Chain A
Amino acid sequence: MAIIVATLLLFLAGPFVLWPLLKTPEDMPTQAAPPGPLRGPTSPRGGR
């Protein structure tokens, strides 16, 4: 009986534990925008 309860609880905990692995690439926050052709040259001080 305890093993059945444990299995059920593990199923409940599964999504929470494995969430970082379940995230799709779209869910991931972008680290840095890739340099695009329209941006033009930027100075070290942010183009000001």
Chain B
Amino acid sequence: MILGYIGAGALLAGLVLAGFSSLLSFWSGARDSATFAQVGRRAFYAAAAMVVLASALLEAALVTHDFSLAYVVEHTDLSTPIALVAAGFYGGQEGSLLYWTLILGVLGSASLLASARAGARLAAYAGGILAAILTFFLFVLSVVASPFDLLSVTPPDGLGLNPVLRDGGMLIHPPVVLAGFASFAIPFSFACAALLAGDAGVAWIKHTRRFALLAWGLQTSGLLLGMWWAYHVLGWGGYWGWDPVENVALMPWLATTAYLHSAQVQEKRGRMRAWNFGLVILAFLLVVFGTFIVRSGVVPSVHTFAISAIGPWFLAFLGLCLLFSVGLLALRAGAIATAPTHHPTEPVSREGAFVLQNLLLLGVVAVVLWGTVLPLVSGMLGTQRVVGAPYYERAAGPLLAAVLALMAIGPLLPWRRAGRPALRALRWPLVAAAITAIALALSGVTSIPALLAFPLATAAAATALTEFGRALLKNPQVILRRRRRYGAYLAHLGLVVAVVGIAASQLGQQVRAVTLQPGQQVTVAGYTLVFTGSESRTLADHTELVAGLRFGDQVLEPTRATYAGLGGQALTRVAITTTPFADVYVVLVGTNEDGSATFRIFINPLVTWIWAGGIVIILGVVLGNAGEGGPVAELARRRVPATLPA
């Protein structure tokens, strides 16, 4: 009980400190007062420390089974394994909000610690905006959805975690996704601060580059981990269902991807200033919109366990952020417009490729946004309409194919204009695409999406590999010296590997529903499985119906678990085995009185490529972000002669 009081007190103290920090930082920015800006920053650090204290207390309450707290009762019980009890911290509405706030506080403090270098006024305003966001979250946590609410009577046991969340994926997917969402508040705050300070230079981009890359890396990992979790736990044979919650996580990722590319145009050529502000604002607004969609339940989703009464508060917050940031951008649009230059840019150039890529990615955002809000909009107009996977595939597929083509062409184009040598460099990706297309056609592939996706992916891979090959032949050290550039190529390569996995598993999936008697066998796409029988097992908090299927030397055991203590909720445990070319994915639908069992068997080609591609992308992000020096260090390096005199 004492933990509840101290935790609620820490959140309240954090709320006061964050509010104070926000007001003081804005005031010191307007008055250009370095001393008060410092006090504002210190108040932010103190507010973050209160959030850290509250988080530690909630974790302590969870692992010590303090059932005086409603949150602990609602999300854990005595039989839940301790790792999942600890993960209960972000397993429910209030806890996940506290986790969001924790990441905001910690990363926000890190970004403010070194912010003075970006300019005193910029730093003060950024601190004010970050503190305002922190104030909103702490207000919701203190007043609307507190994880420290106490029960009048302490029960002997809790209700336990939702069965869908009782999986190893629960330990990593939600915290990574939420951290990806929370971390994008930092580029947003510095972008709005630059607009407030009237500083349209690259200071805010340079200062937040690492945070934007971190946010993108976390969002990428979160999306892939979510796909992996859905694939292993939900048992419908796929990893992406165009569910509203998946869509709202994808949209900020697309906007962030666009921003990471267009920011380079501003850094290198001083162009696209207003566009970059707009993209960062859009990405953050999409994050808040996504949080509203997940928490409010306004559209039907598989994530209904996260619904609560905080939806209207997030809608109001979204409205405020929209008014503030878009209003600010509109007010400053004239002042930040790119100055005319004597060096016009040709459409066929690196900048041109980035602009086109940005437009294509925003096109995908528009497609996904419309598909996500259609039930809401159509419901308000009369009949609720829902779109499925075919809509997204037909509308977004061609746009994504064009992005893939740009991944093959763009990196080979020079800045400003592409001359004959640059166009000659395109021969390798073109040859790779042509060979792949011919090989596919000769092997009897007639699917247009396959004939587009695989050659384009090969071309994009050829571009990245050509760049690595050139560096290795000339001077391998350049890869480590220009980490940002080669990190990006590695991320491209990872994305291509993942795209091949997605295309192969989407276009080549085979499904079969069968009922087998013990001893009977079935062959799907050349993979033979023999049903050996089924049995029922009783465990501590649930019962399991397990079927055995022999596949070569292995025995696959698809399972259906039933949790009697949770109103008979059932959970499917998929049996998956990976072969060099495909996953054999078996779902137990049920057993019958005559001893037979019904299965859905999926053969999913190259799914492991998706997870492997994800790992390569993260390696690329790490390489691109690991200790590369700033412009001064870069300049110093260039001045050092290649060979030193003896």
Chain A positions within 8 Å of B, measured between CB atoms, are: 1-10, 13, 16-21
Contact = CB atoms under 8 A, between A and B. Distances in A.
8 tightest A-B CB contacts, nearest first: A5-B9, A2-B8, A6-B12, A9-B13, A13-B46, A6-B13, A6-B9, A20-B38
Interface of B: 5-6, 8-10, 12-13, 16-17, 20, 35, 38-39, 42-43, 45-46, 49-50, 53, 148
A8 B47 CA distance: 14
A35 to B, nearest CB: 25
A17 B16 CA distance: 12
A20 B42 contact: yes
Contacts of B38: 20
Given A5-B5, A20-B42, A10 B13 contact: yes
B39 A18 contact: yes
A3 B38 CA distance: 27
B435 to A, nearest CB: 65
A9 B9 contact: yes
Contacts, number: 56
Contact of A16 (B6, B10, B42, B148): B42
A7 to B, nearest CB: 8
A20 B17 contact: no
Contacts of B16: 6, 10
Say what secondary structure dominates the interface of chain B. helix
Contacts of B53: 9
Given A2-B5, A19-B42, A20-B42, A13 B13 contact: yes
Given A2-B8, A2-B148, A6-B13, 10 more contacts: A1-B8, A1-B9, A3-B12, A6-B12, A7-B13, A13-B13, A13-B46, A17-B39, A17-B46, A21-B39
A21 B35 contact: yes
B50 A9 contact: yes
Nearest to A20: B38
A9 B53 CA distance: 11
Contacts of B148: 2
B10 A5 contact: yes
Contacts of B50: 9, 13
Contacts of A1: 5, 8-9
A20 B10 contact: no
Contact of A10 (B17, B42, B45): B17
Contact of B39 (A2, A7, A10, A20): A20
Nearest to A23: B35
A17 B43 contact: yes
Contact of B6 (A5, A17, A20): A5
A17 B17 contact: yes
Contacts of A10: 13, 16-17
A3 B16 CA distance: 11
30 contacts: A1-B5, A1-B8, A1-B9, A2-B5, A2-B8, A2-B9, A2-B12, A2-B148, A3-B12, A5-B5, A5-B9, A5-B10, A5-B13, A6-B9, A6-B10, A6-B16, A7-B13, A9-B9, A9-B10, A9-B13, A10-B16, A13-B17, A13-B49, A16-B42, A16-B45, A16-B46, A17-B39, A17-B43, A17-B46, A18-B39
A19 B43 CA distance: 11
A32 B38 CA distance: 21
Contacts of B46: 13, 16-17
A3 B142 CA distance: 11
B625 to A, nearest CB: 31
Given A2-B5, A5-B6, A9-B50, A20 B13 contact: no
Contacts of A8: 9
Contacts of A6: 9-10, 12-13, 16
